[in-house]
A = this chain, B = another copy of it.
């Protein structure tokens, strides 16, 4: 166990000190306050930054189910990095523009019939998304306005705060085991940090998808609100978190999350190799093809 970046008790810093933040992006032309963000919200994710509040909104708009394709993940990581480097942005709310679904998790088509190079690139993009989101210096709030299985659940769990629409038809969970799948260790670490070892062990083994009220009871989401109040509530929570000086909050967040982040960083290539070795098996490829055909039939 490495020394955890020993952090001393210290005193009030010059307010909103940004020393720990990466260097800011170059200044934007006047009169276009939202341009730097809107410019990169091209396909899958709509990004809007309100410079007056310092809060960005990232809306997933990749119908039908916001699945985490290579393109989606790449766009997500780039968008997040741009916001991270933008001094005008201090917090991000992630939510879905697709009705009833937050995100369906990893895109299975990315794992089927592709080259080793593709699998490598895809898995690295999954890791990258998590490393950036779980380790973000910004305040991150998930406004979960639909179901959120597997990788979608991971995205919510990686934020600082989770608000979910109280609709019991919406469910959330790391349900990989239901599909004969095992969640990677860093999915598990993130889950344990939120709900503790026992709840995680049971939920992961059963591959449970918890309806919103149950997810709230288990501590998977912090709050339930009526769907029409979700964005309002997310903004209020964000304002509460932004009332804290950034520097102290960021160092505190790092102190809490560093061990788990470091663990993936240390085993990243091994994790990729394991994924490739698994996904390359003929039996797995066969199962994947069957699963995709089943999905196609269900939709038509």
User: Could you say which of B184, B205, B244 contacts A7, with CB atoms under 8 Å apart?
Assistant: B184
B residues in contact with A183, CB < 8 Å = 7, 9, 252, 255
Q: Would you call B244 and A207 a contact (CB within 8 A)?
A: yes
Q: Would you call B278 and A10 a contact (CB within 8 A)?
A: yes
A17 to B286, alpha carbons, bound, how many Å?
Answer: 14
B residues in contact with A249, CB < 8 Å = 177, 205
Is the C-beta of A25 less than 8 angstroms from some C-beta in chain B? no
Asked whether A1 and B4 contact (CB < 8 A) given A178-B244, A244-B177, A244-B207, the answer is: no
0/1 per residue, A1-34, Cβ < 8 Å to B?
1011111111111110100000000000000000
Q: Would you call B11 and A275 a contact (CB within 8 A)?
A: no
B residues in contact with A126, CB < 8 Å = 9
State how many angstroms separate the Cβ of A243 from the closest Cβ of chain B: 9
Q: Would you call B177 and A14 a contact (CB within 8 A)?
A: no
Q: Would you call A6 and B271 a contact (CB within 8 A)?
A: yes
0/1 per residue, A80-117, Cβ < 8 Å to B?
00000000000000000000000000101001000000
Q: Would you call B288 and A106 a contact (CB within 8 A)?
A: no
A155 to B222, alpha carbons, bound, how many Å?
Answer: 28
This chain's copy number in the assembly: 3
| A–B complex contacts, Cβ < 8 Å, 26 sampled | A3-B266, A6-B184, A6-B185, A6-B274, A7-B183, A8-B123, A8-B274, A9-B183, A10-B181, A10-B275, A10-B278, A11-B108, A11-B181, A11-B278, A11-B279, A11-B287, A12-B179, A12-B180, A12-B181, A176-B248, A180-B248, A181-B248, A182-B248, A204-B255, A204-B256, A205-B249
Chain A residues close to B by CB (< 8 Å): 1, 3-15, 17, 106, 108, 111, 123, 126, 150-151, 160-161, 176-185, 187-188, 192-198, 200-202, 204-207, 219, 222, 240-241, 244-245, 247-249, 251-253, 255-257, 263, 266-267, 270-271, 274-275, 277-279, 283-284, 287-288, 290-291
